[in-house]
């Protein structure tokens, strides 16, 4: 696909250098498809570990490990293709994002089934994430820019926050706000919904404005006037 990848997260530059170094040392028999599949399996495992977090503290460790494996597969598949000059732009774009959507759904379902997050909040997070994803994919096709981060936060930063959240929930599953007790994941989920909603609105307004400037409404020709001020048909 012919588009620009814009990645301005806090860790983007350091992550790029690390991924290129890993890709150059990866065995040749491992290709981008293997890494994409690994990323999907890891995200499903992260969702399952979240679902079990109410039963054992070790599930938090499993969540963090699964997210690390997901980072390895999801971040490295495209890098390997570019380093080896094996790009398949349309196939890679489609498969990568289908896997991202499926993996994220599995993760959030696991969070909603964990007993430490209200299912309705989990559904709200999933809806907000899919809304932002859909807008991003539309912008890639219409504006030609695929933005991978917002306000310095990209996929890697989100994984780190999720891992921290898993450990926090395993130790202290509740939060006290204004004298009332809430699930810690519910508080995080509401913040995530608000942040995703802001990201959607800002991106939608920015891209709509850019497209409007690129494709303005056609100007309606003004009717011609006669020398005595009467309007006459422009064809005369």
Residue-wise pLDDT for 141-183, tens only, equals 898 888 877 778 888 899 999 999 999 998 888 888 888 888 8
Rounded-to-integer distance, Cα 116 and Cα 94, Å:
33
For 119-143, how does the pLDDT look when each residue is reduced to its tens digit (9 = 90+)? 999 999 999 999 999 999 999 989 8
| Residues above pLDDT 70, as percent of the chain | 94
Q: What end-to-end distance do the CA atoms of the chain give, in Å?
A: 50
User: Is a pLDDT exceeding 50 seen at residue 222?
Assistant: yes
- Other CB atoms within 10 Å distance of the CB of residue 220: 6
User: What beta strand segments (E) does 137-221 contain?
Assistant: 145-147, 174-177, 180-183
Give the CATH number, domain containing residue 69: 1.20.120.1760
In a domain, 2, yes or no: no
Helix, strand and coil content of the chain, in percent to the nearest 5, comes to 65, 10, 25
**Contact predicate 43/107, CB 8 Å:** yes
pLDDT of residue 5: 73
Rounded-to-integer distance, Cα 140 and Cα 162, Å:
26
Domain that holds residue 167: 12-214
> Angle at CA 138, nearest 5°, toward 109 and 35?
55
Residue 175 pairs in a beta bridge with: 182
The closest alpha carbon to 172, from 163, 181, 184, 164, belongs to: 184
Rounded-to-integer distance, Cα 168 and Cα 220, Å:
61
In a domain, 140, yes or no: yes
pLDDT of residue 42: 97
- Other CB atoms within 10 Å distance of the CB of residue 227: 6
Rounded-to-integer distance, Cα 173 and Cα 209, Å:
43
For 95-126, how does the pLDDT look when each residue is reduced to its tens digit (9 = 90+)? 999 999 999 999 999 999 998 899 999 999 99
Rounded-to-integer distance, Cα 157 and Cα 163, Å:
10
Tell the burial category of 204 from Cβ atoms under 10 Å away from its Cβ (0-12, 13-18, 19+): middle
- Other CB atoms within 10 Å distance of the CB of residue 68: 14
In a domain, 38, yes or no: yes
Average pLDDT, the chain: 88
In a domain, 1, yes or no: no
User: What beta strand segments (E) does 49-195 contain?
Assistant: 145-147, 174-177, 180-183
User: Is a pLDDT exceeding 80 seen at residue 226?
Assistant: no
In a domain, 28, yes or no: yes
pLDDT of residue 100: 94
Count how many domains the chain has. Answer: 1
Q: Report H helices in 143-218.
A: 155-171, 184-214
User: Is a pLDDT exceeding 50 seen at residue 236?
Assistant: no
Q: For 182-186, what is the mean pLDDT?
A: 90
In a domain, 19, yes or no: yes
The alpha carbons of the chain give a radius of gyration, in whole angstroms, of 24
């Amino acid at each position: 696909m012919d588009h620009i990848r814009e990645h301005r997260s806090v860790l983007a530059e350091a992550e790029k250098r690390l991924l290129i170094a890993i890709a150059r040392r990866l065995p040749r028999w491992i290709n981008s498809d293997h890494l994409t599949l690994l990323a999907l399996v890891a995200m499903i495992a992260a969702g399952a570990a979240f679902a079990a977090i109410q039963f054992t503290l070790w599930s938090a460790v499993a969540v963090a490990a699964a997210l690390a494996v997901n980072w390895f597969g999801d971040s490295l598949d495209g890098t390997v293709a570019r380093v080896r000059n094996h790009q398949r732009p349309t196939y890679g774009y489609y498969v990568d994002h289908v896997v991202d959507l499926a993996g994220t759904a599995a993760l959030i379902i696991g969070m909603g089934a964990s007993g430490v997050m209200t299912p309705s909040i989990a559904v709200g997070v999933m809806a907000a994430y899919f809304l932002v994803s859909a807008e991003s994919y539309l912008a890639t096709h219409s504006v030609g820019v695929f933005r991978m981060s917002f306000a310095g936060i990209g996929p890697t930063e989100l994984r780190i926050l999720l891992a921290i959240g898993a450990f926090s929930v395993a130790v202290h599953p509740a939060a006290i706000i204004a004298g009332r007790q809430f699930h810690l994941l519910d508080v995080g989920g509401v913040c995530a919904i608000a942040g995703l909603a802001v990201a959607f609105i800002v991106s939608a307004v920015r891209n709509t404005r850019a497209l409007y400037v690129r494709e303005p409404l056609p100007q309606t020709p003004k009717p011609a006037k006669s020398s005595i001020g009467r309007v006459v048909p422009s064809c005369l």
